[in-house]
Amino acid sequence: MSLNETFRSLREAQVRLGLENREAKDNALRAVMAAIDADRTAVLKANTEDVEKARADGMKEALVDRLLLNDQRIDGIIEGIADVVRLEDPIGRVHAGWKTPNGLFIERVAVPIGVVAIIYESRPNVTADAFSLAYKAGCAILLRGSSAALSSNRALVKAIQKGLDQGCGISAAVSLADSGSRSEVDEILGARGSIDVALPRGGRELIRRVVENARVPVIETGEGNCHIFVDQSADEENALDIIENAKTQKPGACNAVETVLVHHSIAGRFIPRLGVRLAGRVELRCDTLSSGFLRQYSGLPPRLIFKDAVDQDWETEYLDYILAVKIVSSLDKAIDHINRYGTKHSEAILTNDLRAAEEFCRRVDAACVYTNASTRFTDGGQFGFGSELGISTQKIHARGPMGLEALTTIKYRISGAGQIR
Amino acid sequence: MSLNETFRSLREAQVRLGLENREAKDNALRAVMAAIDADRTAVLKANTEDVEKARADGMKEALVDRLLLNDQRIDGIIEGIADVVRLEDPIGRVHAGWKTPNGLFIERVAVPIGVVAIIYESRPNVTADAFSLAYKAGCAILLRGSSAALSSNRALVKAIQKGLDQGCGISAAVSLADSGSRSEVDEILGARGSIDVALPRGGRELIRRVVENARVPVIETGEGNCHIFVDQSADEENALDIIENAKTQKPGACNAVETVLVHHSIAGRFIPRLGVRLAGRVELRCDTLSSGFLRQYSGLPPRLIFKDAVDQDWETEYLDYILAVKIVSSLDKAIDHINRYGTKHSEAILTNDLRAAEEFCRRVDAACVYTNASTRFTDGGQFGFGSELGISTQKIHARGPMGLEALTTIKYRISGAGQIR
């Protein structure tokens, strides 16, 4: 099928899917769960091909981990669809309704956004998450995964379509763009009228390319250069726990911390403790002051690797066991640094100072601002949205974890009795 | 000031304005009302220059009417700001708040979208409407009006800034991009990081150019190729009233009707009545069937002008006293025609058939779908939103009349007690 034929087929499927009721959509999704379960061996085999190829191509292990599927992760994918089945149908909800002075009755009703394209990097679980959210929201979806995950995605989409066919669903509502060519992406991004919104989900380079080339509306997602600011009144032991968690629990995730900012008044004590805590697991990129504190400290474990940071470190999303460290002289300087280098994703302050917490949360411009918690919680599942379609880092339409609601738009229904103006 | 300096100045102003409370913003807006009132003579004089130049350049009268200011319209502009003053502050509202199982407290809080650019055609009232909504929503705004309205806009922005200075407001939060060059528009549209959202408001060509060139997020507004479908069960006298109103009350408005579709079973009677009703005021562009009915009718007034429609008529937003007329064989054909040629703005069915009304409203893909009322009601003021920033014809972020809410985004504030994942 050519891409233009795919566009037409997705639109036709969406028009039908948009009118389906919840029961029909949920039944189809349940059949998809069963089909993925039944196709487990084929999916894992396809994934092994992708993983072996990726390792042979020298992919970093943190990224290989994003690509990897195993039985437990397939269970997670199926459970993710079950979560979506349990969610209320977002379509048809009347958000508001009122009468105007001249007697018009206006209702603001949720409707599907239409045909969605998602352009994403190497996580095959996104394939199922994005599909199931789109289907529940009455949207058709065009999946454009990375070539690194091509076999996995083909196997998954095959299972999904099989499930839709078995469950009286609309299998034409999902399609994998799998030519692997770059021009395919450009064609998708230029398809005004065919694609209602495109969601790039991945690193800076992917997002930049999408934004530069898109003629269709885009919601930027995913790039997370996240910070944790350790204020002078922070509980230091807890701060170490949070930083360790935010950096090492899943370093390939976009909500992992990339830079820690430390208030200068506690830095002489805190920085060496941080070095001790992360030694052997995380490489530090330190500004002059913090590397000075490390060099002065006699008790540093020999396994600790730290280097002098260069300017580029402040703007890098490592997605790896690397952490930039900088000492700031005040809350203001921390906020300035974050607003300058951050990607408006997730930013945290660790403090016991109420004024500082409020100031930080008010002035830091990001989708999610945290007080005394790990940035790793920026996630649709953690927020209670079921699965997620990505983390929006832009300001229009959706911000932060995007669940079902991000796939809806509204329509005004106006009922009159012959009114003229 | 160079455009880059303007961007910096707008950003700084927005950061301050975003933290202002309602009282300060309303006081500043009240001072702006007084300043526009005080500068009335200067504004009208500037507008007369624009209007004379436009007429000399051969601008169509329907468009000149959009450009024209008079005392009454200045009153309207001031009253529009008063409406915005009366609106609740959209900023700081907590849309939702909940606790997660591990005790994180998550709040979804409304915050300003940031720095907004509006690129619009010749209506000077947009200058004041857009400014006042932006200011109330804590947003800085860059106004890029058409060169046809340059003098009017300069005079208005001067008055606005004077008012802000007098009312302890932040006058740097509004700026007019008035170089008149096309490259200025491109620079605005490419200013990622400086402009958070761009709103083109105008005709098809303007919107196309913005969408093609923008690197910043865009909300498309304004182009309205609106239809009225006269179903077989419509009250015909009322249908004539509604069509006359939707076409002639303000033909330069985007919510004016451009094509009337008539069910074939009533067309033989209704089309001649339509011709009689609009004769001397509106030129008709008829499909073969409907022009046949007109030619057959003996009682047509000689003043009626009608021509054969060509394909282009179905996709034209005339913004003039011209109306396309087509006979359709069924509700389905009407819906198909609208979904093919419409701009997803405002679409109406006139009917007494409940099933037809529901089918039409469900299947027509548009921001506003009407049953038995004029399309002219698609308007922020008519909807009760105070003034409006435009009518969004896209599906993301905002759809239909855009008031204050369209200028907000959200921020998640997450308060923890040391949680890790």
Crossing angle of helices B71-86 and B40-56, rounded to 10°: 120
Name the closest residue on chain A to residue B102, using Cα atoms: A382
Neighboring chain A residues of B374 at a CB cutoff of 8 Å:
416, 419-421
The pLDDT value given to residue B208: 84
CA distance B297 to chain A (A): 27
Name the closest residue on chain A to residue B17, using Cα atoms: A363
> Has residue B412 got a pLDDT over 90?
yes
CB contact under 8 A, A218 and B215: no
For residue A415, report the phi and psi dihedrals to the nearest 5 degrees.
Answer: -110, 125
Of A100, A367, A420, the CB nearest to B241: A420
Only one residue has tokens 């006269």, namely: B230
Neighboring chain B residues of A415 at a CB cutoff of 8 Å:
357, 370-373
Of A304, A245, A249, the closest CA to residue A273 belongs to: A304
Of B304, B337, B338, B334, the closest CA to residue B322 belongs to: B304
Name the closest residue on chain B to residue A100, using Cα atoms: B383
Distance between CA atoms of residues B82 and B63, nearest Å: 27
Q: Which pLDDT band, with edges at 50, 70 and 90, does B258 fall under?
A: very high
CATH architecture of structural domain B226-382: 3-Layer(aba) Sandwich (3.40)
pLDDT tens digit string along A102-133? 999 999 999 999 999 999 987 899 999 999 99
**What is the mean pLDDT of the segment spanning B214-226?**
88
> Has residue B180 got a pLDDT over 80?
no
Of A100, A382, A417, the CB nearest to B100: A382
Of A374, A395, A409, the CB nearest to B419: A374
Of B212, B369, B410, the CB nearest to A215: B212
Q: Which two tokens stand for residue A196?
A: 């209602």
User: Which helix (H) or strand (E) element contains residue A175?
Assistant: strand A174-176
The pLDDT value given to residue A407: 95
Counting Cβ atoms within 10 Å, is residue B214 exposed (0-12), middle (13-18) or buried (19+)? buried
Q: Which of B192, B395, B410, B413 to mutate to test the interface with A (most CBs of A within 10 A)?
A: B395
Of B217, B238, B365, the CB nearest to A418: B238
> Has residue B366 got a pLDDT over 90?
yes
How many beta-carbon pairs below 8 A join chains A and B?
189
The pLDDT value given to residue A179: 85
Name the closest residue on chain B to residue A197, using Cα atoms: B396
Please state, for a pLDDT cut of 90, what percent of chain A lies above it: 86
CB contact under 8 A, B377 and A238: no
CB contact under 8 A, A395 and B114: yes
CB contact under 8 A, A197 and B396: yes
CB contact under 8 A, B421 and A104: no
**Three-class secondary structure assignment of A220-266:** CECCCCEEEEECCCCCHHHHHHHHHHHHHCCCCCCCCEEEEEEEHHH
pLDDT tens digit string along A236-245? 999 999 999 9
The pLDDT value given to residue B249: 96
CB contact under 8 A, B19 and A363: yes
**What is the mean pLDDT of the segment spanning A228-235?**
98
The pLDDT value given to residue B212: 84
CB contact under 8 A, A377 and B242: no
Measured CA distances, B143 to A245, B20, B29 (Å): 46, 22, 17
> Has residue B62 got a pLDDT over 80?
no
**CA angle, A120 then A125 then A127, to 5°:** 55
Name the closest residue on chain B to residue A342, using Cα atoms: B193
**CA angle, A218 then A222 then A228, to 5°:** 135
CA distance A151 to chain B (A): 31
Domain boundaries, chain B: 3-221+389-415, 226-382
> Has residue B122 got a pLDDT over 80?
no
Mean pLDDT, chain B, as a whole number?
A: 95
Only one residue has tokens 């100031």, namely: A359
Of A197, A246, A415, the CB nearest to B395: A197
Name the closest residue on chain A to residue B199, using Cα atoms: A396
CA distance B397 to chain A (A): 3
The pLDDT value given to residue B112: 97
The pLDDT value given to residue B213: 87
Of B286, B384, B386, the closest CA to residue B327 belongs to: B286
Q: Which pLDDT band, with edges at 50, 70 and 90, does B11 fall under?
A: very high
The pLDDT value given to residue B182: 80
**Predicted ipTM of the assembly:** 0.91
Neighboring chain B residues of A113 at a CB cutoff of 8 Å:
395-396
CB contact under 8 A, B377 and A104: yes
Distance between CA atoms of residues A312 and A299, nearest Å: 29
**CA angle, B47 then B51 then B55, to 5°:** 175
Of B219, B357, B421, the CB nearest to A245: B421
Fold of A3-221+389-415: Aldehyde Dehydrogenase; Chain A, domain 1 (3.40.605)
Identity of the amino acid at A400: G
